[in-house]
Amino acid sequence: MKSYVILISGRGSNMRSLLEANLPGRCVAVISNRPDAAGLVFAAARGIPTVVVDHKAFENREAFDAALLEAIESHQPDLLILAGFMRLLTEAFVRRFEGRILNIHPSLLPAFPGLHTHKAALTAGVPVHGCTVHWVTPSLDAGPIILQASVPVHADDTEDTLAARVLEQEHLLYPKVVRKLLEG
């Protein structure tokens, strides 16, 4: 049975959708860069080991990544899943997990990489928006696309209403992709 580690920074709604999907693998840890991440409580309640590697405790990104790498490798996962993990990772870190690290992004990449994607979509006036599961590479949100899901953009949408519809799709898409990867 393949194993995976999930990295989070906040409430962990995508992590929760993965854990509730009864995937054909084993989540061996949930790791957060923030000690107050609400998702840690949910994971711990499910009996999943949780670890905090607080990025604020480190002098630079390289030191943080080294500590994060150590925490992850102690669990020897087959797959590393970023689920709302809001830290840029160094090239050396990403290369260590190349071909085994994936992310979900709230836009139809390559459109709107980075932050504030819903605002960017509304400003651009696009008729559709959505989410993308992709392999992580050293370039931000530029890795090979695995699968996407789209939603219509309505004339009366706000950032919040659009974000809510996209998030619904994220919760369906991410478990679907992870399931296929764990099944081989």
Catalytic site residues?
A: 105
d(CA 116, CA 118): 6
Residue that is written with structure tokens 């997990």 in the block = 97
Name the residue type at position 47. G
Phi/psi for 49 (5° steps) reads -60, 135
Length of the chain: 184
Burial 138-149 (b: 16+ CB within 10 A, else e): eeebebeebebb
d(CA 98, CA 8): 19
Instruction: Specify the DSSP element, H or E, that contains 68.
Output: helix 61-73
